[in-house]
Structure 1
């Protein structure tokens, strides 16, 4: 087989390498072309050198090109994968820093909440540019695979306004399933059969079977509470399981910022999170992790390049959906996964226009979703709160309506639990002004926002958050990795 895959935001070096090696685990895909594109020539150069080294070490005919000219990369592409972070870590830092001034403590801030909504405002105009280029220069039947957050908002915009065949992909479901398999004592994750449904980052394990035996709430709660690690790292997630009756796919830290109950007071935050790793609820945890990862990669690049000389091992193919979807579409080997698509009645008690994450099967005819799923009322209600915020956020990003943007932020569950309307109005003004370089649709609103900020009497505070850690130096990271290696 010979076709072209374009990766936008390919400078996300580690993730691009994973997708690349996964795809090349499919025997029929050795003779394809990867076209890498990114705004950063520096990052493109690094990732191309790594992928070229992989191709050379494995004696493959695979072609790798790299360009900052996005349209050139997309020309004739059958598949387009997006891994972009619009605004980079600079804008992301504002997504965390500014809401903290108004008492809003986020762990990640890339899905909803104040940070996730503004992240969507930066992404959506760019996503629509991608879609325009896909329609104009890519293969006629091109498929757009979106990995970028905020997943639901980006996918919603691409389908509804970009008019491109789009599927959103995430690994939260797989990671949650691995946890469940472990606590239940499965010898392999393949012993666990599961069905998840909901919306991205708020998907629920609605059916669990271990070697064919159905697993109920009580057994799952007992298994998690008995686990020496997860009982501490996933306290909030276990509490939601007890109250809702089903386990959430999302991590303790992520889940905490989608709900109005656990992060609204500093003393409650420290009660429900765990500081053993950022993902369990640390204030700005993913920002710190991302910053350290970038710094580590820049410093230790020669090691990454050397590691690329190893043979590709199909046994180590990851459970990221992309390679499996491409394999099913091209070879007709059926793949079952959980995909982000427009609802259109798949989940009976969520709106038809919402972007859902739910089971589907892929073959040469495309992605075929399992229809007729009904969530419990509690799960549906939680999803609905986020869907309403997502819908307003997408419409605000498309129209450049700053008042609608403020209403979207106001209706966010955690923001509403923490902040007053006056605080929300000022916070959004401050975020739009700070991120104006990446928000072209709000250019007309920036002068008035600056004027309001100059006259505002709303008080803020300089606050690092309830559970903040400093970014570690390269030396500290080296010492920690060495210590972990010694302890095995």
Structure 2
């Protein structure tokens, strides 16, 4: 088979390499063309060198091109994959720093909460530009696979306003299933069957079966509490399982910032998080991790290039959805996964316009969602709170309405648990002014926001958060990796 796959934001080097090798593990796909595009020529050069080395080492006919001209990359593409981070780490740092001044302590800040909402404001105008290019220069009926966060907002904007067939993809469901299989003592993940449904990063394992036997709440709670590692790393997640009766897909740290109960009091945060790794609740943990990963890659690039000479091994194909979806669409081999799409009856007790994440099957006819799922009431209530924030955030991003943006942030569960309305209004003004270069839709609102900030009487504080760690140097990272290697 020969067709074109465009990857926008291909400078996300590690993830692009994973998508590339996964797709090439499909025997029929070795003659495809990959068109890489990014705003960073430097990153494009690095990733193209790695992918070219993989092609050469495996003697494949695969073609790899790289350009900063996005429309050129998208010309004739049958599939377009996005993994962009608009504003990069510079803007992301402000998503974490400014809310901390107002007492909002985020672990990741890329989905909802103050940081995720502003991330969506930066992304959505760019997403709509992608969609315009797809409609105009990509292959007829091209499919847009969005991996970029905030997943629901980006996918919502692309479907409702971009008018492009869009599927949002994430790996939270797979990671949660791997945990459950481990605590239940499964010999392999194939022994576990599950239905997982909700919205991205708030998806719930509503039916679990191990070798056909249904697993109930009490058995699952006992299994997690008995696990020597997860019992400590997932304390908040286990508490939600006890109260809601079902397990959430999302990591301990991520889940903590979608709810109004666990991160609102600084002296309580330590009780619910674990500092063994960033993902379990560390303040700004993903920002630190992303910064260290970027610095490590820049320094250790020769090693990454050398590792690209290894033969492709289909047995090591990852569980990222993209390659499996393309395989099903092109070959007809059916794939079951969990996809982010517009609801329209898939989940009966969530709004029809929401972007939900739920099971579906893919074949030559497209993605066919399993309809008629009803979430437990507490899960639905929690999802609806986030959906309302997402809806207002998308509409604010489209219209450039700063007042609607403030209302979206005000209704965010964690922000609302921490901040007064006056604090929210000032926080949003400060974030919009600081990030103005990435927020063209708010250009007319920035001067008035600056004036309000100049005369504001709302007090802020210089706070690093309840559980902040410093970015580690390359030498520190190298020493840690050596220690781990020796331990193994």
- Which TM-score tier does this pair reach, normalised by the shorter chain? over 0.9
- Looking at structure 2, the residues matched to 441 and 309 of structure 1 have their Cα atoms a distance apart, in angstroms, of 45
Residue 118 of structure 2 is matched in structure 1 by: 118
CA deviation vs aligned residue, 1:426-453 (integer Å, no higher than 9, x gap):
0000000000000000000000000000
- Looking at structure 2, the residues matched to 386 and 88 of structure 1 have their Cα atoms a distance apart, in angstroms, of 24
Residue 8 of structure 1 is matched in structure 2 by: 8
Residue 175 of structure 1 is matched in structure 2 by: 175
Q: Secondary structure at the match of 2:109?
A: coil
Residue 314 of structure 2 is matched in structure 1 by: 314
- Looking at structure 2, the residues matched to 485 and 453 of structure 1 have their Cα atoms a distance apart, in angstroms, of 51
Residue 17 of structure 1 is matched in structure 2 by: 17
RMSD: 0.2
Q: Secondary structure at the match of 2:248?
A: coil
Q: Secondary structure at the match of 1:453?
A: helix
Is residue 2:243 matched to residue 1:243?
yes
Residue 440 of structure 1 is matched in structure 2 by: 440
- Looking at structure 1, the residues matched to 5 and 308 of structure 2 have their Cα atoms a distance apart, in angstroms, of 20
Q: Secondary structure at the match of 2:247?
A: coil
- Looking at structure 1, the residues matched to 181 and 375 of structure 2 have their Cα atoms a distance apart, in angstroms, of 22
Residue 140 of structure 2 is matched in structure 1 by: 140
- Looking at structure 2, the residues matched to 46 and 192 of structure 1 have their Cα atoms a distance apart, in angstroms, of 39
Residue 197 of structure 2 is matched in structure 1 by: 197
Residue 130 of structure 1 is matched in structure 2 by: 130
1:196-215 residue pairs with structure 2 within 5 A?
Answer: 196-215=196-215
Report the CA distance between 1:268 and its aligned residue. Answer: 1.2
CA deviation vs aligned residue, 1:44-93 (integer Å, no higher than 9, x gap):
00000000000000000000000000000000000000000000000000
Report the CA distance between 1:359 and its aligned residue. Answer: 0.2
Q: Which runs of 5+ in 1 are unaligned?
A: none
Residue 285 of structure 1 is matched in structure 2 by: 285
Residue 222 of structure 2 is matched in structure 1 by: 222
- Looking at structure 2, the residues matched to 267 and 273 of structure 1 have their Cα atoms a distance apart, in angstroms, of 12
Is residue 2:357 matched to residue 1:357?
yes
Report the CA distance between 1:168 and its aligned residue. Answer: 0.0
Report the CA distance between 1:396 and its aligned residue. Answer: 0.0
Report the CA distance between 1:166 and its aligned residue. Answer: 0.2
Q: Which runs of 5+ in 2 are unaligned?
A: none
Residue 333 of structure 1 is matched in structure 2 by: 333
- Looking at structure 1, the residues matched to 35 and 431 of structure 2 have their Cα atoms a distance apart, in angstroms, of 34
Report the CA distance between 1:141 and its aligned residue. Answer: 1.2
Residue 457 of structure 1 is matched in structure 2 by: 457
- Looking at structure 2, the residues matched to 234 and 420 of structure 1 have their Cα atoms a distance apart, in angstroms, of 30
- Looking at structure 1, the residues matched to 436 and 459 of structure 2 have their Cα atoms a distance apart, in angstroms, of 23
The alignment's TM-score, normalised by the length of structure 1, stands at 1.00
Residue 72 of structure 1 is matched in structure 2 by: 72
CA deviation vs aligned residue, 1:158-214 (integer Å, no higher than 9, x gap):
000000000000000000000000000001011101110000000000000001110
Report the CA distance between 1:28 and its aligned residue. Answer: 0.2
1:412-451 residue pairs with structure 2 within 5 A?
Answer: 412-451=412-451
Is residue 2:480 matched to residue 1:480?
yes
- Looking at structure 1, the residues matched to 210 and 335 of structure 2 have their Cα atoms a distance apart, in angstroms, of 20
Q: Secondary structure at the match of 1:109?
A: coil
- Looking at structure 2, the residues matched to 215 and 267 of structure 1 have their Cα atoms a distance apart, in angstroms, of 35
Report the CA distance between 1:267 and its aligned residue. Answer: 1.3
Aligned residues: 488
